[in-house]
Amino acid sequence: MQRVDATSRVVFMCGPSGAGKTTYARRLEAEGMVRLSFDAGIWARGITGGEVPEEVREEIRTELRAELRRLLDEGRDVVLDFSFWSRAMREEWRALLAEHHVVPETLYLATDRSTVLARVASRRAAHADDFPVDLATAAAYVDGFEAPTPEEGPLTIVVDGEVFAARTDSPGTYHYDWVSGPNRGYGFNSFTSDRSPLPAERHAPSIRDFLGMIDPETGYIADDPDDPDDEER
């Protein structure tokens, strides 16, 4: 991912419980970013499972906002290890960052439903990053999750471990750069026939379709004119 602000870089970790957000956020933390975690705030209050009262949630939100502002004032880079499950939630935190002239990056873990639920089922409340969620609630989170779109701002999508930078530069037209792929600058484009926005839930399946066509030996789609070795075959 590219830095989008000269002063602070802020990353929204986005995905339902069990998507793998904290694992990815800890990598960014190891690179020097400060990680702010909603679950850590819950755990620190001695809550290790069950429903969290709304007044406690609001108290934690207030603390996290204050801490984020302090870090931005210091010019620190921050990864917000939340769910960012709705567009409204993402817009709320974008508005806070706009006060500091920071444009956040959204890093969306588009993990498949069965994997998410299996991970949640294996949680045992061993630590703050292992906060248990009952399966019915977890399934409702997955089914009600509002996936982010390139129209919202800088977006990175992780699908089956592969990383793509997604962007749009005109209505209904999308570019997906395969950042983790073996061939620098390779990816694919897509567009809607009527140039209307692509539904949010369609971006990850489009990437999976692309990955399904990749030749594992070359890292290119078979017979792709961008493949420099095609003329030798």
Per-residue pLDDT, 153: 97
77 and 138, same domain (yes or no): yes
Average pLDDT score over residue span 106-128 = 91
Q: Which of 33, 126, 107, 16 minimizes the C-alpha distance to 76?
A: 33
166 and 203, same domain (yes or no): yes
Cα(111)–Cα(132) distance, integer angstroms: 18
188 and 108, same domain (yes or no): no
Question: For residue 4, is pLDDT > 50?
Answer: no
Cα(197)–Cα(183) distance, integer angstroms: 28
Cα(188)–Cα(211) distance, integer angstroms: 10
Enter the tokens of residue 209.
Answer: 């379709």
Q: Which helix (H) or strand (E) holds 72?
A: helix 54-73
Question: For residue 233, is pLDDT > 80?
Answer: no
Domain assignment present for 3: no
Specify the pairing of strand 78-81 against strand 34-37.
Answer: parallel
96 and 141, same domain (yes or no): yes
Domain assignment present for 1: no
118 and 183, same domain (yes or no): no
The answer to whether residues 149 and 175 touch, using CB atoms and an 8 Å cutoff, is no
Domain that residue 160 falls in:
155-232
The answer to whether residues 7 and 75 touch, using CB atoms and an 8 Å cutoff, is yes
Q: Report the percentage of the chain scoring pLDDT > 90.
A: 82
38 and 122, same domain (yes or no): yes
Per-residue pLDDT, 196: 97
Domain assignment present for 5: no
193 and 143, same domain (yes or no): no
Helix axes 113-121, 135-144, angle to 10 degrees: 150
How many structural domains are present in the chain? 2
Per the rule left: phi > 0, alpha: psi between -120 and 50, beta: everything else, 19 is: alpha
The domain that holds 85 is classified in CATH as 3.40.50.300
